[in-house]
Amino acid sequence: MAGKSKVIVINEKDNVATAIVPLKAGSTVSVETQGRTERIKLLSTIAMGHKFAVQEIAKGVDVIKYGEPIGQTTAPISRGEHVHVHNVVSHRGRKGGA
């Protein structure tokens, strides 16, 4: 897959990237965001279609994807860490319960 992107950042405001192939913990990926390319070492295995943080995200902060808040962190998330239901609560689809 040399020369092809393995991740996508949808909007320059996003603080997460989405894996377009499965990615292994410990690997380093190139992420194009805000007009520059950064290399990020993954702290977690990231399944295809799942997100990881492109910057440190504090507890209680919005997760931004598509340039819009999609959820709020329930724990601090390190750069390169998986962003999913174990550390984020969605802004959409919540029904009365926790």
| Entry pTM | 0.87
The pLDDT of residue 94 is 55
Does 98 score more than 80 pLDDT? no
User: What domains can be seen in the chain, in order of their start residue?
Assistant: 7-90 (2.30.130.110)
Dihedral, CA of residue 49, residue 44, residue 65 and residue 39, to nearest 10: -100
pLDDT number for residue 49: 96
Tell me if 38 sits within 8 A of 15, measured CB to CB.
Answer: no
Order the strands of the 88-90 sheet from edge to edge. 62-65, 68-73, 88-90
Give the pLDDT band (50/70/90) at residue 93.
Answer: low
